Amino acid sequence: MSTNCPELTMLWGLHVSNSVWHSASVVQGNSNREEIEIVRSIRDGLGVPDLFARILVSRGIKSPEEAEYFLYPGLDDLSDPFLLPDVQKGAERLITAIEKRENICLYGDYDADGITSTALILNYLKNFGLRPEIVIPKREDGYGLNASAVKMLGAKGIKLIMCVDCGSSDIDEINTANRLGLDVVVIDHHEPPFRLPEAYALINPKRKDSRFPTRELAACGVTFFFLWALRRIMHNNGLLKNKINLKKELDIVALGTMADMVPLTGDNRILVKYGMDVMRKSPRLWLKTLIANKIIPKRGIDENTLNFVIIPRINATGRVSDPKISLDFLTCEDEEKADNLLKKLNEANTKRQRLGEETLKEILDYVDKGILSEKKSFVFYKENWHIGIIGIVAQKLVETFGKPTFVITNVDGICKGSGRGGDGLDLHNTLSSLSPLLLRYGGHKYACGVSLSRENLDAFKDAFEKNIDNIGDIRQRKVRIDARADFDELTIDFMEFVELLSPFGIDNTQPFLLLKPSNIESVKNGRIKITDGNRRTWYGYNQSRVDIPKSERVSVIASPVLREEMGENFIHLYLKGFVEE
């Protein structure tokens, strides 16, 4: 038995060549006595399968107590919200606005994270009979605070702007608000600049002076912790006439957290785990409407449902329509209105899919000519691409080619683009060295947006390529194998324990197992048939985007997934790659 989990450097199955197959040399050491004892203590102490115990050890678990803490986290395990910078100051300012019935504006962002963040504060303020002004710019209006919008809010008598999922870099706009006598409280998670804006409060776990343990929160996560601190202060000062249950808001927190693709570890994992539990046990009207209209099955709340069904619809309005539609849907309390709003979400999602597919095909046709095969990065530009879908297209291109990618279009004479990085790349840090070429940029390590003049576009392409080339070949990705396993160990009982590792996502993937089959063959439509050493047949899907190699020494890297077919549970294998041993 080997408990150590080797990191395998794998070749990407590139779009330009179906003959490329994932290969790696497996660095497999012998388990030491200490590892074997840890596995045994977890297996026997928790009553779990040996393979499951080996997976836990490979993920850094060192005792039954640690394993139990990881597998069964509680809301009490969430970090202290008062470790966030300025959280007390920001909460007290909102309390003053509530008590004085001041005019408040919620200024959000147009993506799912910004929409859910706005929904959280809106729901909280409803407890006090407040109906704040809501501003969520459309994508073509640009990201972040807008100076003209700030002036408009000042003219309307707004006294407090609550900036959610934006604001950390809006120095000039916040200065404008200050001059007009408006206080600005920023609740954000984007990388802040060296010089912070002079907001009344700037609550961001990425601030250098932050003591909050989880740096990579989504904005809706930061907003939840802010509301938690706010509620505690109000409760301690006798300002709550009625109990406010923040746990019921975790469904919305889970949506935004999954949508922003932050690491599902620590606080994020707890928020999403309990948020999905709230969806299953106490669905609110927005979720009931999706179920009633057969968009999702009644018992179908899992990561795939969120990532591929619900979140795309919430995001779609901010991409090709009006993001307030999604906000209204998530906070709606009228069934007929919710049905009508869902129709608009579906229409926006259909439009988003069509535009995205057209743009992606156009780019892939260009790449197929082989002109860019030696490039370490991609920067694509066309002036009439829709601003709302370029981020999705950039993400799909990174998934296909493994190269950092920007997709750029033209909005009112300004080139605006969306970028995604590859494995091991901090995209925001990379852009910081290119800032002289940009009018504006922002985001985080995984995704960024840029604005630049047309005349700087070619220079940006060259500088970005040079920067990526200096970093090294990031097309090589590392896949961490959780355990070498025998097919005999893949049982329904084992799979039920695997579910305890969920929710799955960034930095908390489904287990990757190294298995040795006796035969692999393609069936059709990406389906595969695997025969193990005992001549049993297993089915699954080839997700490696490459052909099955012709070698008797091939092992597979696969994630086992429990699927129900015809009322029975089956284990399917999702192949991530191949290894020649």
Q: Give the three-class secondary structure for 142.
A: coil
Mean of the per-residue pLDDT values for the chain? 89
The confidence band for 525, taking pLDDT boundaries of 50, 70 and 90, is confident
pLDDT recorded at residue 348: 96
Q: Would you say residue 70 lies in a domain?
A: no
- Structural domain of residue 342, as residue ranges? 284-299+307-369
> Which comes out higher in pLDDT, residue 579 or 64?
64
Task: Please say if the pLDDT value at position 55 is more than 50.
Answer: yes
The first and second tokens of residue 276, run together, are 């999905």
pLDDT recorded at residue 493: 94
The confidence band for 13, taking pLDDT boundaries of 50, 70 and 90, is very low
> What separation in angstroms does the CA of 149 have from each of 144, 157, 176, 178, 325?
10, 13, 10, 14, 20
Task: Please say if the pLDDT value at position 15 is more than 50.
Answer: no
Q: How far apart are CA 473 and CA 475, in angstroms?
A: 5
CATH code for position 265 = 3.90.1640.30
The confidence band for 472, taking pLDDT boundaries of 50, 70 and 90, is low
Q: Are 197 and 186 in contact (CB under 8 A)?
A: yes
Check whether residue 241 and residue 320 sit in a common domain. no
Q: Are 522 and 542 in contact (CB under 8 A)?
A: yes
Task: Please say if the pLDDT value at position 290 is more than 90.
Answer: yes
Check whether residue 94 and residue 238 sit in a common domain. yes
The confidence band for 35, taking pLDDT boundaries of 50, 70 and 90, is confident
Check whether residue 431 and residue 364 sit in a common domain. no
pLDDT recorded at residue 299: 81
> Which comes out higher in pLDDT, residue 208 or 138?
208
Is the omega angle on the peptide bond into residue 503 within 30 degrees of 0, that is, cis? yes
Check whether residue 323 and residue 266 sit in a common domain. no
> Which comes out higher in pLDDT, residue 533 or 221?
221
Task: Please say if the pLDDT value at position 471 is more than 80.
Answer: no
CATH code for position 423 = 3.10.310.30
From 282, 316, 340, give the residue that closes a domain.
282
Task: Please say if the pLDDT value at position 39 is more than 80.
Answer: yes
> Which comes out higher in pLDDT, residue 307 or 424?
307
Q: Would you say residue 74 lies in a domain?
A: no
> Which comes out higher in pLDDT, residue 563 or 439?
439
Q: How far apart are CA 430 and CA 409, in angstroms?
A: 21
> Which comes out higher in pLDDT, residue 461 or 423?
461
Region 439-453: what's the mean pLDDT? Answer: 87
Check whether residue 452 and residue 509 sit in a common domain. no
Region 186-209: what's the mean pLDDT? Answer: 96
Give the least confident one: 159-168, 255-264, 333-342, 397-406.
397-406
Q: Would you say residue 118 lies in a domain?
A: yes
DSSP annotation string for 206-259 = TSTT---S-S---HHHHHHHHHHHHHHHHHHTT--SS---GGGGHHHHHHHHHH
Q: How far apart are CA 570 and CA 565, in angstroms?
A: 7
Range ranked top by mean pLDDT from 195-209, 400-414, 527-541:
195-209
The first and second tokens of residue 92, run together, are 């007290």
Q: How many CA atoms lie within 13 A of 475 on its CB side?
A: 18
Task: Please say if the pLDDT value at position 107 is more than 60.
Answer: yes
Check whether residue 98 and residue 237 sit in a common domain. yes
Q: Would you say residue 399 lies in a domain?
A: yes
Q: pLDDT for 213-228, tens place per residue?
A: 999 999 999 999 999 9
Domain total for the chain? 4
Q: pLDDT for 297-322, tens place per residue?
A: 888 799 999 999 999 999 999 999 99
> Which comes out higher in pLDDT, residue 478 or 444?
444
The first and second tokens of residue 180, run together, are 């007009």
pLDDT recorded at residue 320: 92
Q: Would you say residue 44 lies in a domain?
A: no
Q: pLDDT for 387-413, tens place per residue?
A: 999 999 999 998 888 889 999 999 989
Q: Would you say residue 59 lies in a domain?
A: no
Q: Would you say residue 58 lies in a domain?
A: no
Q: How far apart are CA 259 and CA 310, in angstroms?
A: 10
Q: pLDDT for 476-521, tens place per residue?
A: 455 678 999 999 999 999 999 999 999 999 889 999 999 999 888 8
Check whether residue 323 and residue 175 sit in a common domain. no
Percent residues over pLDDT 70 in the chain: 92
From 351, 369, 387, give the residue that closes a domain.
369
Distance spanning both ends of the chain, measured CA to CA: 17
> Which comes out higher in pLDDT, residue 204 or 563?
204
- 561 burial type by CB count under 10 A (0-12 exposed, 13-18 middle, 19+ buried): middle
How distant is the alpha carbon of residue 71 from its chain centre?
A: 21
